[in-house]
A and B are shown apart, each in its own frame.
Chain A
């Protein structure tokens, strides 16, 4: 069945370094992807999204890269800060009549001071 998964369940980085969180998806017809950040005790918070007609999109300190050839996307966080510590989820919108987001299980990012 369809799935959106992440390569690593946990990622530990030093403050100030760049972080890269990876995500793979199985449905080649997915045409929209979102990254969410979830801090402890809170609901997921929208970070950035990208449509399948793009291969890169930048936000404030974040960049999402989409490689449709290998069905892979990544979230890059520049100059990682302690406040970036959270669980990061990718989600893909499956195309077709029954459109719904398919969520990955999340990657926990820990930022070491």
Chain B
């Protein structure tokens, strides 16, 4: 199994631009999580899906952030418009059955200048 696959690995964009992060979960996993990691705040859960349905998006910082999961093998996290304070590493993770020991991807390092 290739694990959780995220793309791109690095993204540098200008303030105001739209950014789309992509994630392919492990086949057969029914939960997908989007996290953001910064030095100041650590790991923050942004949103998670169960069977492609968003369950809890209370961690999404504001309306500029949106996430979709059109099918069991693909999810996107979009930021529009992006701001410098969005600079962070964004992780996608997936699991079977919930919060028990899920698998993270390698992350996307986003820099907004």
A-side interface residues toward B, CB under 8 Å?
32, 34, 41-46, 49, 89, 93, 98-101, 103-106
Contact = CB atoms under 8 A, between A and B. Distances in A.
Contacts of A93: 99
Interface of B: 4, 42-43, 45, 48, 56, 91, 93, 98-107
Contacts, number: 40
A98 B55 CA distance: 10
Given A42-B106, A44-B43, 19 more contacts: A32-B99, A32-B100, A41-B106, A42-B107, A43-B93, A43-B106, A44-B91, A45-B104, A46-B101, A46-B102, A89-B43, A93-B99, A98-B56, A99-B98, A100-B99, A103-B42, A104-B42, A105-B42, A106-B42
B104 A44 contact: yes
